[in-house]
Amino acid sequence: MTYARGSEAVPLGRLAAAIAPDAAAVLRRQDGVATTAQLAAWGVSRQVAAARVRTGEWQRLHQGVLVVHAGPLAWRQRARAALLYAGPGAALSHRAAGHVHGVVAAPAVVDVAVPRARTVEPQAGVRVRRREVPFAGGRLRAINQDDTVVDLVAAAASDDEAVGLLCDAVRAGVLPGRVLVAAGERQRLRNRRLLLEVLDAVGEGVESPLEHRYARDVERAHRLPRARAQRRERVDGRWIRADRVYEGLGVRVELDGRLAHPSGRTDADVWRDNAVVLAHAELTLRYRWSHVAVEPCRTARQVGAALRAGGWRSAPSRCSAGCPVRGGDAV
């Protein structure tokens, strides 16, 4: 999934027409948000600004930071206000930066990074992070996308969340190699091993947490052959993409996450499975989250049986002492 990059249009209010052109240009660049110090320099005293806030014509977002219109605020304005409040050297970070880079949805709380030497009091809706700030830039100043992805993975609450973030980042155009470089520059990094493992898997076609779990817990853990991931081909006049194809063994695996297929197989899934049988005489096995995450051993046993029927001359291995897989088993 990709996300809008915080580019929604924002109103500027009447002030833009009442101040000098160069000041109005700054106000436009700042999405209609300004500090009281800027307003004073443009000829609007603190008393006048306070009066407009009292009447509801303007809104006070943080101490010393106003938006010069009434009504709803765009996320971009809240992010801009957080940057202006945090002051020189500040940059959006974590999910706020991730949204600017198109990786995650707009967060309710805006994360702002400030240099360690500075102390900035937190505000409602703003999380201040004191740190060594990596390279940051852009019209809405944000930490660069590579370091942002590393930050997001390090802060992920679970492996699946981390995998999902990495997959979304790659789909948004982030280059895995550059993320690896950014990660390598961190002396201490939570989830480092997972990040390296998943970036390698993404390079091989893994596109979701479910696919990552299948590759790790079903295929590798039970020493199944490695399938080709995300194979595109034309079948019956349509382009299709298979999640996993065991080439030469007549077996495909489709992985349906709950969010993508909340009611199970769709009409398009049924058509695709039938078309593959007709075109290639290949069996399609379909698994959902519970099969892969809860019962990976049982799933491996079934896949192994299908592969053996297709000519695989080995057998799945047990992943642990309690694994129910036994070489040569039927389903």
Percent of the chain with pLDDT over 90: 42
Closest CA to 145 of 103, 86, 185: 103
Q: Are strands 126-131 and 110-115 parallel, antiparallel or unpaired?
A: parallel
pLDDT, tens only, 112-121:
999 998 889 8
pLDDT, tens only, 134-178:
899 999 999 999 999 999 988 888 878 888 888 888 888 888 888
In which element (H, E) is residue 62 found? strand 59-62
Q: Mean pLDDT highest for which of 25-39, 191-205, 228-242, 315-329?
A: 25-39
Q: How confident is the model at residue 5 (pLDDT cuts 50, 70, 90)?
A: low
The pLDDT of residue 284 is 84
Task: Give yes or no for residue 270 having a pLDDT over 60.
Answer: no
The pLDDT of residue 273 is 55
Residue-wise DSSP of 88-153: TT-EE-HHHHHHHTTSSPPPSSEEEEEETT-----BTTEEEEEE----EETTTTEE-HHHHHHHHH
The pLDDT of residue 31 is 92
Task: Give yes or no for residue 71 having a pLDDT over 50.
Answer: yes
Q: How confident is the model at residue 1 (pLDDT cuts 50, 70, 90)?
A: low
Least confident of 14-28, 63-77, 224-238, 302-316: 224-238
Q: Name 123's bridge partners.
A: 126
The pLDDT of residue 50 is 94
Percent of the chain with pLDDT over 70: 81
- 170 with 202: CB under 8 angstroms? yes
Q: Name 128's bridge partners.
A: 112
Domain ranges of the chain: 15-143, 145-203, 209-309
- 254 with 274: CB under 8 angstroms? no
Task: Give yes or no for residue 331 having a pLDDT over 60.
Answer: no
Per-chain mean pLDDT for the chain? 83
CATH of domain 209-309: 3.40.960
pLDDT, tens only, 192-213:
887 887 777 666 566 677 888 8
Q: How confident is the model at residue 3 (pLDDT cuts 50, 70, 90)?
A: low
The pLDDT of residue 198 is 74
- 68 with 81: CB under 8 angstroms? no
Residue-wise DSSP of 230-271: EEEEEETTEEEEEEEEETTTTEEEEEE-TTT-TTSS-HHHHH
Closest CA to 99 of 84, 111, 114, 115: 111
Higher pLDDT, 76 or 7: 76
The pLDDT of residue 129 is 94
Backbone angles phi, psi at 121, to 5 degrees: -70, 135
The pLDDT of residue 111 is 96
The pLDDT of residue 113 is 96
Q: How confident is the model at residue 9 (pLDDT cuts 50, 70, 90)?
A: low
pLDDT, tens only, 223-265:
999 888 776 665 555 545 667 889 889 898 888 754 344 444 5
Higher pLDDT, 162 or 222: 222
Closest CA to 310 of 243, 225, 207: 225
Q: Name 112's bridge partners.
A: 92, 128
Give CA–CA dist 304/288, Å, rounded: 17
